Structure 1
Amino acid sequence: MDKLSAQQIREIWIDFFKEKNHLFVEPKSLIPINDPSLLWINSGVATLKDYFSGKSNPPSQRLVNVQKSIRTNDIFNVGVTARHHTFFEMMGNFSIGDYFKPEAIEFAFELLTKRFEIPLSKLYFTIFEDDEIAFNKWVSLGVPPNRIIKGNRDRNFWDVGQGPCGPCTEIYFDRGEKYDPNKLGEKLIFEDIENDRYVEIWNIVFSQFNNDGTNHYTELARKNIDTGAGLERFVCIFQDVPTNYDTNEFQSVIRTIGKLTNKQYDMNAYFGNDLTQKLINHDYIVIVDHIKANMFAISDGALPSAKDRGSVLRKLIRRAMVCARRLEIKESFISITVDALIDVNKEFYPYLTQTRDKVIKVLQEEEVLFNKTLDNGFELFNKALNSKNFDAKTAFKLTETYGFPYELVEEMMNYHHIKIDKEEYAKMIKNHQEVSKSRKDVKGMMQQNATLLKYKEISTFDYDSTKLNNALVIGLFDEDFNQVNSLNGNGWVVFDNTVFYATSGGQICDTGIITINNNQVKVDDVIKGPNGQHFHHVVNAIIKLNDHADLQINEHNRSLVTKNHSTEHLLHKALRTLIDQNINQEGAFKSPEKVTFDFSCDHHLSNDELMKIEDEVNSYIQANKPVCINMLTLEEAKQENAVGHFEDVYKKIGGKLRVVKMQDITTDICGGTHVKNTKDIEKFMITKLFSVGGGLYRIEAITSNETVSKYLDEQINKIQQKINLMNEDLSSKNIKDDQYTKLLSTVLYKNDLPEYHDLVNKFNELNGIYNKLILSYNKQNASNNIRMIKEEYKSMDQSPKILINKFTNLDLKTISSALTELINEDKQHAYVALSLLDTKTQYVCMANKQFCQENNFNAGELVKKLNVITKGSGGGRDTFAQGGCNGRIDFESVLNSVKDE
C-alpha cells in the first residue's frame, strides 16, 4: 500500500465515483440551513437529507462528496482514543433511486482493492444476518466467507424508529498484531469488542424499507444508498501510524505548537505506559482538534457565545487553552496553530486563506477573554487540590466565576482521582440561575418564563404610524420579567396598542420616547414576548398599571431601517435575476446604518457583477413602483409566487401572513416595515462583499441620499489621503514614472456614485503602479544591503568556527538572504546575525549541512541558548533557526555565549 496524504485520498475517492457517473457535491457549510433538528452538520448525508426525503430534486441521482462535519457529544474522548475528533471529514457516495445493493458493493470492492490497492487479506466485512444478497455479492467478488461476519439488528440494521431504514454492510481494516496487545485476534471483530486493530473504514447503508412507527416494514418504492467513510481513518491506515493524530497532516501542526514548549509530543507513547507522556500527547491533540473545529466553524459563520452552537465553540476554545497551560505554553498559540492548520487544508478548502484574519481575530478575542480568569482559576484549582478540600463549591466557583466549562472541571478532577458531589453542584447552579438572570439572553429566557407564557393580554402593533396618543399600560415587568403593579426605575412595559416595532425577522427594533404623567421616558429596546406582545424596555421610569402614555418613535431611524428592509427584497431579486435564480436568503440584518444579506452562491462575485447588481437595484428604485401589503394564507401567498424562506415557521404561525408586493418586481412574505414606493429608498450602494464560509457570502449595503453621501465623503477623503501619502513617498525616494503621473492627472474627487466607482478603479490602478515602483526600489536597496552584509562578514577574522555580527535597522529577511548566499559559498563557518530594531532584537543562525555534520553543530540548539540569555523565544532545525526578544540586547554577552560554543 502506498503512503497517501489526505488530499491524495480525497482525489482518488472523488475521481473514482466521477468515473462511475456520480456528481461531485462541494462541501457545504457546517451550519445547517433551515434544519432545526441539527446543531451542526454531523455527517456526509446531513446536507443531502432533502434529496432523500423527496423535498428537493437532486442535481443527479448519483452523488459523491467529502463533507466537513462536527460532532460534540463525546468531546472528552478526544485525545483519549485513537480515533475521536470533534471536526472530521466524511467521504460518501450516494444513490437516490438509482443503483442499489449489488452495484454499491461492487464500487466499494473495486475502489478499495483496485484503486487504493488494499490487499483483500487486510479486509473484513459485516452484513445483516438476514441479508443473503449482500453475503452472496461479497463472496462472488472473492471475499472468503469466513471473513464475512453476520451481525444482528443492533450491529447491522439502521433504524431510527420511523421512516426509511435498512440493513448495512461495514468494511474493516486489519492493522495487525501490534494493535492487539492481548493477542485476541479475530475474536475482537467477530464478537464486536472495542479495539484498535480492526478499524471500521466504510459503512454502506441499504435504505430499502419503511418503518411505519410500529415496526411494520414495507419495501420502499425508491431505494437509496447512503455511505460514509472517515477520511482521517483512511489516512491513518495508509500512513501506518498508531492514531489519527500521528498522520503527517496533524503532526505538522503538532510540531509547530511544540516550538512553544519544552514538553514534546511522542508518537511512541501509544505503545508505552508512561502516563505523563500520554497526558502531554492528549493535550496536544485537544489543542489541534479543538482549534481546527473552531477554524472551520468560524469560517462558516459561527461565532463563540454563551448559547447554542456558540457555546460549543467557546467550550472547545477554553478546553484547548487549559491544555496549553498544562503544556506550559506561556504565549499565544492561536495564530501559529491556525496558520499551520490552513497550510495543510488550503488545497481542498482554499477559502480558509480568505477567512484567516477573521478566525484569528475571533479566537484571540476569546483567548484574551478567558486569560483574564484562567490564572486565577488555576490558582484556585491547585490550592483546593493541595489542601484536599475540593468540593462542589470549588467546582461551582470555577464554572460560574472563572468560566471553566463544567465538563472540563470534571475532566481535570478525574485526572487527579477526585470525585464531585454532582447533586450539590446542580443545586448551586439552580439557585444561581434563579437570582442572576441576564439580559443578554433575555429573549430565550422570555420564551421559557412561566409568567410570560401565561400572559395573554391583547396588544396590537400599528405598522403605519410613528406616534400614538393615550396608549394604555396593560402590563409592567421588572428587569427579570417578574410582573409588578408599578415601576420606579428600569423595566418592561406592555401597551394595549403600540407603534414601536419589536426586533424580529432581522430588523432591529424602534427606539424613542414615551410621555407619561408629563415625564418623558426613553425606550431603548423592544422585544416580542412568547405570545406576540411588544415589550418596551424603559429607563428611569415611574409608571403604574392603567396609566396612559403618548408614544413617539425615532422617525428618522425608522425611515432608514424601512428603506434598508425594502432594499433587502430588491437586492435578493437582483441576485436571482443576474446571478442565479436559485439563490436563497440565508440571513439578513437591517439597522439604520446598513443592511446585510447572506446568500449561498457557487462563486465569489466579481466587482463587475457587484456593479451590475448595484445598478439593477437602483433601477428598481428609480422605477417608481408602489409597494402594497396584503394579508394572505400560506397557500394564497404561494399562488402569488411570494418568496418565503422559512416555510416550517410560516406553517406554525397559521392564519394569514403579511405579504409585501413591490409591483412588477418582487413579492415576499415578510413581517417588517416597508416604504410606500420604491423611489422612497432614494439610493443604494454596496459597500462590502465577503465570504462567511461554506459557499455562503454576505453583502453589506447602505441606502438613502443622506447615508450614501456621508459614506462617499468619508471614503473619498480616505482615498485622497492614501494617494497623497503615495505621492509623498515617491517624491522622497526621487522616483518618477510617466504612467503614474498621467493617471494621477485624471483623478477626480466627486461625491457622486458613478464618479466614486471610477475613483476606486483609478486608485487601485495607481496603487498597483506604486507598489511595483516601490518593490523595484526596495529590491535595489536589498541587493545593496545583501552585498554590504556579506562584505562585513568576509572582512572579519575567519578563525572562529562561528561568525557573529550585528546590524541596526535591517530586516531579518534581507539578513537571511545574505546568510543563505554565504553558507552556499562557505562550508567552513556557521553564521549568526543580530538585527537591532527600535523596540526589539531579532536573531538568526544559519549553517551549511556539511558544516553541521562535520562540527556536530545545531542552529536550533544555539538559538535556544540565546533565548535564555535574551529572555526571548524562537527555535528551528540544525541548519536554520531564528528568534527574538523585546528591547535591544547586550551584544557582548551574546558574543561570549557564542564563543563558548
Structure 2
Amino acid sequence: MQWMGLNEIREKYLEFFEGKGHLRLPSFPLIPKDDNSLLLINSGMAPMKKYFTGEVTPPRKRVTTCQKCIRTGDIENVGITDRHGTFFEMLGNFSFGDYFKHEATAWAWEFCTKVMEMPVDKLWVTIYQDDDEAFEVWTKEVGVAADHIVRLGKEDNFWEHGPGPCGPCSEIYFDRGPEHGCGKPTCGVGCDCDRYVEFWNVVFSQFNSDGHGNYPPMEHPNIDTGMGLERLACVMQNVDNLFLVDTMQNIIKKVCTIAGTEYGKDKKKDISIRVITDHVRSVTFMIADGIMPSNNGRGYVLRRLLRRAARHGRLLGIDRSFLTEVAESVIHESCGAYPELTEKKEMIQKVISVEEESFAKTIDQGTAMLNEIMEHHEGTVISGEDAFKLSDTYGFPIDLTKEIAAENGMTVDEETYHQRMQEQRQTARAARKNAGAESWAGESDLLKGVPETEFLGYREQTAQAKVLAIIAGDARAESADAGDEIGLILDRTTFYGESGGQVGDTGTLSADDAVLAVSDTTKNHAKNFIHHCTVQAGTIRIGDSVTTQPDWKRRQAIMRNHTAAHLLQAALRRVLGTHVEQAGQLVNDRHVRFDFTHFAALTPEELRKVEEMVNEKILSAVPVESSEMPIEEAKKLGAMALFGEKYGKIVRVVSVDDFSKEFCGGTHMDNTAKLGLFKIVAESSVAAGVRRIEAVTGYGVYRLLNDSLQTIDQTAAALKSNTSADLVAHAEQTAAQLKQAESELEKLNAKLAGRQVEQLLAAAEQAGSVRVCTAKLNGADAGVLRTMCDKVRDQAPDMVAVFAGVNGAKANIAVAVGKDALAKGAHAGKIAKAVAQLAGGNGGGKPDFAMAGAKDLAKLDTALQAARGITAEFAK
C-alpha cells in the first residue's frame, strides 16, 4: 500500500466508477435545492434523495460523485479533538434501480484491494445481523474470509431515517494495528479506539419503511454508498487524524506562518490552529456556493464559523485581518476538483475580509466587557441579562459568550437569555403591526365557502363581475349603504391583490345603484381578492353586478417599477455574482424598493454598471413575456424562484429575453421601452448580509430630474451664483472660507483655553500625592475640553484635571492625568467613571485621558467637588 495524496485519491475513485458505467456528476452545491428538511448538504446522498424516491428521474441509473458536505452538530468540539471537523468530502457510487449487492460489494472490494492496494488481511467487513444474503455474497462471491466478517445489530448496520427507502448495510474497516488499540481483550471491529477505522458504508436500500415497523420490499432496490475522503486519506497516508492529511497540513502551515508558531508544540495553540484550518475551509466552500453571512439559517452558520476562526487568530496573537490569506491556501489545495473556488476567489476573499473587519470592531469591546463581567462575578453562572446585554448592545454572539465562559470554567443562563430575546422579538413584532392590515385578520374564516376570485388583470383593464360577499366590521353582510367601509369580494376582478411585494390596486367599482371607491386590494390564502371600499353613493348588495375600474395610470406606474425590479435583480447578479438573491421587495407607483443578499455596500462603479445595464435593456425595447407552465419545466428554463417560497405545480414565468426569467404572479409592462428610464436613488444596509436599492422609473425619473434642477437653481441663488454652471466654483469658494473661519476659531479657542488653564492650575488643590484642578465650563464642547486637558498635561505633569462642559441639558466630563501623576497611581478612566456616576452618567477611557457623560446636571457641582477625594483614593 503506497502513500497517496487526497486529490489523487478522489480522482482514482471517480475514474474507477466511471469505468464501471457510472456518470460522474460534479458536487451539488451546499445549499439544498427544493429540500427544506436540510439547512446544508451533509451527506453524499442528500442531494439525490428524489432520485431514490422516484420523484425525479436521474440522469443515469449509475452515478458517482464526490460531494461537499457540512456538519455543525459538534462545532464546539472542533479543534479540541483531532477527529471533529465541519467540512468534509464524501465519495459515493449510486444505483437507482440498477445493480445491487453483487456488484456493489465486488466493486468496493476491487477498489480497496486493487486500486488502493490495501492488504487483504487488514480489511474487515460488517453486515447486518440478519442479512445472510450479504454474508453469502461477501464470502462466496467476493472472497472475503468468514473470520473477517462481523455481524452487528440494527443500530450499527441498518440504514433508516424515518419513512421511505431503507435497508441493511455493510461497512468496511481498516485495521491500523494493535499499537493503535485500547489493549482491552474485547477490542475489535466497532470498538471506540483508534485501531479499526470505518471508512466505507455500502447501504442496500431494499425496503420501503412505512414508519410503523413495516418493511415491504422495494420493486427496484437501490445502492447508496458513502466513503469519507479524508478518512480514506488517513488510511492511505498512515496518519492519525484528518488534520495530518496532506491538504490539511498545507493549510495548517499557512496558519502557522501567519501566527509565527509551529503545529504540534503547544496543545492550546494547536486547538486554535485546527479551528482556523477547519472553519476557513468550510466558509470558503460555503461562500463559493452563494451563502452569505447573516443572523439566521445557513448564513448564521457561516458567520459563526468565521467569527470563531477570527477569535482563535487573536488567541494565537494575530492582531490583524488574516483569514483571506488562509482562504487562498484552501482554494489552492482544492481548486482542481472544484473550479468554482477559482471563479469566485475575489468574492470569497471580499466576503471574508468584510466580515472579519466588522467582527474585529465587535470582539475587542465585547471581550473586554465579558472579561469585566467574569472578573466581578460571584459564582460560575453568567446571568442571562448580561449575556443579552452583550448580544443586544455590543453585538457579541451568545455562542462566543458560552465558549469564552466555558474556557474560564463558567456557564451561561441560556434560559433567561432566550427569554429576553423572545421578549425583544415580540416587542419589535408589535411595533411593526399595521392597523389596516390587522383589521382583516379574520377574513379567511369569514369567507369560508366563498370561491376563489378569477383575476383578469393581466389582460383586461375593466370587467363585469358579481358580488359574492360583503364584510362589514367583523361580520358578513347582505348589503351596505353610502358611507359604509366594507370589504367586497367578487367572482372576478381586474384589481390586483397585494402579494409578492406588489401593492394592491386602487380605483372604482360601479353598479346600477352604487358607486364605491377602492382604497386597497388584498388577497387571502383562499385566493379571495378583498376590495377595501367606501360606498360613496347608493346601496351595494350581494348578487349585484359591478364594473371594475382600477386606477390605470397608477397601475401602469406600478407595472413599470415591477418590471424594473426583475431587470434590477438580473443586473445585480451579473455585476456582483450569482449569490445575489431577492430578500424582499416593495413595488408601488412611486418607486421600487429591492432587498437582496450581498456582503458589502456597492461601490459607485458597481451602481453605475447596474444602472447602465438596466437602462440598456429599457432602451433596447425588449418584449416582456409571461406564460404559465409546470414548475419542473420552469426550473429547466432556469427561471429564478424566491428562496423558501412554496409554489404550486403550475407557475407563471415572466421573461425578458435571456436576461431575466423569474417565477412571478405580478403585473408587468409588455415591453421594456415603456419603463422610460431607470434611476437608482439610494443604496443602504437593512440587515447583516442584506442590502437595499431604491429606484424610480418613468414619471418618477421625470419628477426626480425636475426636483434636482430646482434644487440646483435654489442652491445657486443661495450662494449668489449667476448661473448653475458656476455653482461648483462658488460652493468650493464658500467651503474654503468656512474652513478658514473654523481654523481661526480653533486658534481663538486655544488661546482662551490656555488662559483658563493658567488660572485653574493656580487654584489647584493637593489630593494625596498629586494636585487636582476642576472646573465647570458652560458652552464648552468635547473639543475644547480635550484641548484644555492637553495643555494641563503639557504644563503640569503632577496634575489631574477634571473638567465638565455643559451644553443645554447634557454635560461631558473630561479627565487628564499628567505623566508624574500617572506614575503615582492616578487613572483617568477610573476617575472619569466614578465622577460621572455621581451625576447619573457613565464612561471611562485610557489611564492618561478619558471622557464620560453626565445626565443629572443638578448633581454636577457635587460630583466635581468629589473629584479631589476620588483622585486621592488612587494616588495616596
Once the 2 structures are TM-superposed, how far is the Cα of residue 257 of structure 1 from its aligned partner? 1.7
Once the 2 structures are TM-superposed, how far is the Cα of residue 399 of structure 1 from its aligned partner? 3.2
Q: Work out the percentage of aligned pairs sharing the same amino acid.
A: 34
Once the 2 structures are TM-superposed, how far is the Cα of residue 331 of structure 1 from its aligned partner? 0.6
1:428 paired residue among 414, 417, 420: 420
| 2:763 corresponding residue in structure 1 | none
| 2:731 corresponding residue in structure 1 | none
Q: Compared with structure 1, are the counterparts of its residues 644 and 264 closer, same or farther at alpha carbon in structure 2 (3 Å cutoff)?
A: closer
Matches within 5 A, 1:863-878: none
Deviation per CA, 1:54-103: give whole Å up to 9, x if none.
Answer: 12222211111001111222222222333322221110001111110011
Deviation per CA, 1:506-559: give whole Å up to 9, x if none.
Answer: xx5459999xxxxxxxx9x999988889999xxxxxxx99899x9899778634
| 1:825 corresponding residue in structure 2 | none
Q: Compared with structure 1, are the counterparts of its residues 210 and 342 closer, same or farther at alpha carbon in structure 2 (3 Å cutoff)?
A: same
Q: Compared with structure 1, are the counterparts of its residues 679 and 546 closer, same or farther at alpha carbon in structure 2 (3 Å cutoff)?
A: closer
Q: Is the 8 A contact 1:164 1:209 kept in 2?
A: yes
Distance 2:295 2:530 in 1: 23
Q: Compared with structure 1, are the counterparts of its residues 412 and 225 closer, same or farther at alpha carbon in structure 2 (3 Å cutoff)?
A: same
Distance 1:52 1:354 in 2: 32
Once the 2 structures are TM-superposed, how far is the Cα of residue 706 of structure 1 from its aligned partner? 11
Q: Is the 8 A contact 1:235 1:247 kept in 2?
A: yes
Matches within 5 A, 1:1-80: 1-80=1-80
Matches within 5 A, 1:379-418: 379-389=368-378, 390-392=381-383, 393-418=385-410
- Measured on the aligned residues, the alpha-carbon RMSD in Å equals 5.4
Once the 2 structures are TM-superposed, how far is the Cα of residue 642 of structure 1 from its aligned partner? 11
379-388 or 26-35: which moved more? Answer: 379-388
Matches within 5 A, 1:338-349: 338-349=327-338
| 1:99 corresponding residue in structure 2 | 99
TM-score normalised by length of structure 2 = 0.58
Matches within 5 A, 1:150-229: 150-180=151-181, 182-184=182-184, 187-190=186-189, 192-229=190-227
| 2:236 corresponding residue in structure 1 | 238
Letter matched to residue 40 of structure 2: W
Once the 2 structures are TM-superposed, how far is the Cα of residue 622 of structure 1 from its aligned partner? 7.3
Distance 2:438 2:275 in 1: 40
Aligned residue pair count: 599
| 1:265 corresponding residue in structure 2 | 263
Distance 2:423 2:655 in 1: 51
Once the 2 structures are TM-superposed, how far is the Cα of residue 453 of structure 1 from its aligned partner? 6.4
Q: Compared with structure 1, are the counterparts of its residues 495 and 355 closer, same or farther at alpha carbon in structure 2 (3 Å cutoff)?
A: farther
Deviation per CA, 1:835-861: give whole Å up to 9, x if none.
Answer: xxxxxxxxxxxxxxxxxxxxxxxxxxx
SS at match of 1:92: strand
SS at match of 1:29: coil
| 1:673 corresponding residue in structure 2 | 667
Once the 2 structures are TM-superposed, how far is the Cα of residue 110 of structure 1 from its aligned partner? 0.5
Q: Is the 8 A contact 1:32 1:40 kept in 2?
A: yes
Distance 1:259 1:569 in 2: 42
Letter matched to residue 179 of structure 1: H
Distance 1:154 1:450 in 2: 51
Distance 1:526 1:287 in 2: 53
Distance 2:558 2:302 in 1: 35
Once the 2 structures are TM-superposed, how far is the Cα of residue 8 of structure 1 from its aligned partner? 0.2
| 2:576 corresponding residue in structure 1 | none
Once the 2 structures are TM-superposed, how far is the Cα of residue 365 of structure 1 from its aligned partner? 1.6
Letter matched to residue 354 of structure 1: E
Distance 1:589 1:432 in 2: 22
Matches within 5 A, 1:364-763: 364-389=353-378, 390-392=381-383, 393-437=385-429, 454=442, 456=444, 502=498, 504=500, 509=502, 558-564=558-564, 670-676=664-670
Distance 1:97 1:166 in 2: 14
| 1:326 corresponding residue in structure 2 | 315
279-288 or 64-73: which moved more? Answer: 279-288
| 1:149 corresponding residue in structure 2 | 150
Distance 2:671 2:126 in 1: 66
Once the 2 structures are TM-superposed, how far is the Cα of residue 217 of structure 1 from its aligned partner? 1.6
Once the 2 structures are TM-superposed, how far is the Cα of residue 353 of structure 1 from its aligned partner? 1.6
SS at match of 2:68: strand
Q: Compared with structure 1, are the counterparts of its residues 299 and 91 closer, same or farther at alpha carbon in structure 2 (3 Å cutoff)?
A: same
Distance 2:338 2:570 in 1: 32
Deviation per CA, 1:399-431: give whole Å up to 9, x if none.
Answer: 333334333322322222223334333333333
Once the 2 structures are TM-superposed, how far is the Cα of residue 670 of structure 1 from its aligned partner? 3.7
Q: Is the 8 A contact 1:51 1:58 kept in 2?
A: yes
Distance 2:498 2:595 in 1: 19
Q: Is the 8 A contact 1:510 1:553 kept in 2?
A: no
Once the 2 structures are TM-superposed, how far is the Cα of residue 225 of structure 1 from its aligned partner? 0.2
SS at match of 2:76: helix
Q: Is the 8 A contact 2:559 2:667 kept in 1?
A: no
Unaligned runs of 5+ in 1: 270-276, 477-492, 515-522, 537-543, 572-584, 599-613, 685-699, 709-901
Q: Is the 8 A contact 1:512 1:553 kept in 2?
A: no
Q: Is the 8 A contact 1:473 1:546 kept in 2?
A: no
Deviation per CA, 1:603-659: give whole Å up to 9, x if none.
Answer: xxxxxxxxxxx9xx999997979x6888x9x79x999x99988799998769x9768
Q: Compared with structure 1, are the counterparts of its residues 499 and 513 closer, same or farther at alpha carbon in structure 2 (3 Å cutoff)?
A: closer
SS at match of 1:204: strand
Deviation per CA, 1:224-261: give whole Å up to 9, x if none.
Answer: 00000011111222222222012221121122122232
Q: Compared with structure 1, are the counterparts of its residues 377 and 706 closer, same or farther at alpha carbon in structure 2 (3 Å cutoff)?
A: same
Once the 2 structures are TM-superposed, how far is the Cα of residue 298 of structure 1 from its aligned partner? 1.1
Q: Compared with structure 1, are the counterparts of its residues 435 and 193 closer, same or farther at alpha carbon in structure 2 (3 Å cutoff)?
A: farther
SS at match of 2:39: coil
Once the 2 structures are TM-superposed, how far is the Cα of residue 38 of structure 1 from its aligned partner? 1.8
Q: Compared with structure 1, are the counterparts of its residues 367 and 100 closer, same or farther at alpha carbon in structure 2 (3 Å cutoff)?
A: same
Q: Is the 8 A contact 1:499 1:551 kept in 2?
A: no
| 1:776 corresponding residue in structure 2 | none
Unaligned runs of 5+ in 2: 463-469, 475-484, 508-518, 537-549, 572-579, 598-612, 679-692, 702-876
Once the 2 structures are TM-superposed, how far is the Cα of residue 198 of structure 1 from its aligned partner? 1.8
Letter matched to residue 383 of structure 1: E
Q: Is the 8 A contact 2:23 2:60 kept in 1?
A: yes
Q: Compared with structure 1, are the counterparts of its residues 320 and 512 closer, same or farther at alpha carbon in structure 2 (3 Å cutoff)?
A: farther
Distance 1:391 1:6 in 2: 44
Letter matched to residue 219 of structure 2: A
Distance 1:259 1:347 in 2: 24
Q: Is the 8 A contact 2:497 2:523 kept in 1?
A: no
Letter matched to residue 221 of structure 1: E
| 1:304 corresponding residue in structure 2 | 293
Once the 2 structures are TM-superposed, how far is the Cα of residue 349 of structure 1 from its aligned partner? 1.2
139-148 or 125-134: which moved more? Answer: 139-148
Once the 2 structures are TM-superposed, how far is the Cα of residue 387 of structure 1 from its aligned partner? 3.0
Letter matched to residue 391 of structure 1: I
SS at match of 1:98: coil
Letter matched to residue 411 of structure 1: E
Q: Compared with structure 1, are the counterparts of its residues 391 and 648 closer, same or farther at alpha carbon in structure 2 (3 Å cutoff)?
A: closer
Letter matched to residue 250 of structure 2: S
| 2:247 corresponding residue in structure 1 | 249
Q: Compared with structure 1, are the counterparts of its residues 586 and 320 closer, same or farther at alpha carbon in structure 2 (3 Å cutoff)?
A: closer
Distance 1:108 1:135 in 2: 15
Query: Greater Rg, structure 1 or structure 2?
Result: 2
TM-score normalised by length of structure 1 = 0.56
Q: Compared with structure 1, are the counterparts of its residues 668 and 399 closer, same or farther at alpha carbon in structure 2 (3 Å cutoff)?
A: closer
Q: Is the 8 A contact 1:566 1:674 kept in 2?
A: no
Letter matched to residue 423 of structure 1: E
Once the 2 structures are TM-superposed, how far is the Cα of residue 278 of structure 1 from its aligned partner? 2.8
Q: Does 1:113 align with 2:113?
A: yes
Distance 2:355 2:642 in 1: 36
